Amino acid sequence: MNRETIQYYLDGEMDAAERAAFEAVIARDPALRAEVDRYRSLDADLRTAYAPAGGEAERAIANLNIHENIRPFKRDPRKVVIGLGALAAVFVAGVSIGLLWAPAIRETPPETGKILKTKAPDIVNIGMLTIATGPCSFNFGKGEARAAVAGDFIQKGAELAVPAGARAACVSTDGSELYFDRDSSAVWDDARSLILTSGRVFARIAGGRPFTIRAGGAEMLAQPGSVQIENHGGAAEFMVYSGGAVIDGLGKPFMLKPGGRALAAKGSVMPDESGDDLLFSRAWALEIDAAAGGRDAAIVSDLGAMLDRLGQSKMPSDIYSKAFNEAAAACKTAVARFFTSDDAILHAELRRGAARLLAEIADEGLAPVLSRGTADSEFEIRKTCVGGLKSIASKTKGFDPSKYIDRKALEDDGGPKKVFK
């Protein structure tokens, strides 16, 4: 968690709602709780330092390690990873106001011999990095850059760089969620405006004025809903999943409705009639949904729809099979989590879909989950899970599926000969 936020809390500058939200995070995170206690101790030392106590004051100041602990903008090594949905809700409720605009602490010039708490130059934090699956960085221009990890605030004007080996998610102060694919970078103008300089971003836009995303010389003015933008080599592709958007900046504004897509290249915007399936276009983002948690049912629904479409003869299976396999592999824990959850009991169709997915991507690690499915009250699910276990046996030497099948269910379904025929 950012040091300024902790100091803001300890100084009593949060209102009741902000304080309650922050204390809820502290209660869930022992590392953050320890960090808050450390800063509380440092605060006590600081107050001692101000007292006219001669050598004792000098000792307290030395213990503070001022250059390391209260230099403005220095990143604290311990961070809090907060779920996207929960954090977005907090921002929408307005709790983030104090957390994001807390005044920084800085030191006065050494020659004064005094340490003062003063306001640093205005820093506008417009969001937070909530998930990073690998090393990322914030670039501030003029060669200034630093590592970016989950829990870092996003400052206005900063460029988020996501390398080829990582993916990342952010939430802006208005509650909008943005997922960045591998090898992507974007500059944040404000909480509802960014420039996608390279790569791909999928965004869930919260209510409010249009969210502006610029790429390829054009800009998308997106209404609340879901959109995706890709910027590769100066050409940009804009896609709308829900809501609506206007593509502007290159001649006459171009309207996009749900399911629509447009290509901005060579100084113009035109409809993209490639025929690509939008669901597969954003399959990569499911990995971030899985990491964030809380969207397991939606993941099962999307992967199930992808699997259904793969069976259609019109689909170029080589491209879409790869997209499905990569997404399913990244999300298998989320699928298993949903299948074994109480929530799945209330959604029979999705539970069947989860069983089908588990059987499709079955490996030895999923055998215990499939084993549980063989005792399900529904015959179709039992049969699907047995099929998944048989699939594991076909590609795993020495794997015996019969050891994972519920004995009673096995007999109810006609015995071993019928089940394993």
245 lies in which domain range? 124-274
Q: Are 244 and 167 members of one domain? A: yes
What's the pLDDT at 64?
35
We report the CATH number of the domain holding residue 203 as: 2.60.120.1440
Q: Are 171 and 261 members of one domain? A: yes
What's the pLDDT at 77?
34
Q: Is the pLDDT of residue 122 over 60?
A: no
**Backbone dihedral region for residue 364 (phi beyond 0: left; psi -120 to 50: alpha; all else: beta):** alpha
Q: Percentage of the chain surpassing pLDDT 70?
A: 73
What's the whole-number mean pLDDT along residues 145-161?
89
Lowest mean pLDDT across 25-29, 177-181, 183-187, 225-229 = 25-29
What's the whole-number mean pLDDT along residues 253-266?
86
Q: Are 231 and 154 members of one domain? A: yes
Q: Are 128 and 62 members of one domain? A: no
What's the pLDDT at 299?
93
* pLDDT, tens digit (0-9, with 9 covering 90-100), for 170-202: 999 989 999 999 999 999 988 899 999 999 999
Last residue of a domain, one of 106, 122, 138: 122
Tell me the C-alpha distance between 168 and 171, whole Å. 11
Q: Are 287 and 408 members of one domain? A: yes
What's the pLDDT at 72?
32
Q: Where does the pLDDT of residue 359 fall: very low under 50, low under 70, confident under 90, or very high at 90 and above?
A: very high
Q: Are 85 and 175 members of one domain? A: no
Tell me the C-alpha distance between 106 and 121, whole Å. 10
Q: Are 387 and 304 members of one domain? A: yes
Last residue of a domain, one of 258, 274, 290: 274
How many residues in total does the chain contain?
421
In 10 A of CB 274, how many CB atoms? Answer: 10
Q: Are 285 and 391 members of one domain? A: yes
Q: Is the pLDDT of residue 120 over 60?
A: no
What's the pLDDT at 14?
80
Q: Percentage of the chain surpassing pLDDT 90?
A: 36
Number of domains in the chain: 3
pLDDT: is 378 or 106 the higher one? 378
What's the whole-number mean pLDDT along residues 297-310?
91
* pLDDT, tens digit (0-9, with 9 covering 90-100), for 233-254: 778 999 999 999 998 877 778 8
Q: Are 101 and 38 members of one domain? A: yes
Q: Is the pLDDT of residue 260 over 80?
A: yes
Lowest mean pLDDT across 118-132, 198-212, 297-311 = 118-132
What's the whole-number mean pLDDT along residues 221-232?
93
Q: Are 118 and 128 members of one domain? A: no
Q: Are 263 and 359 members of one domain? A: no
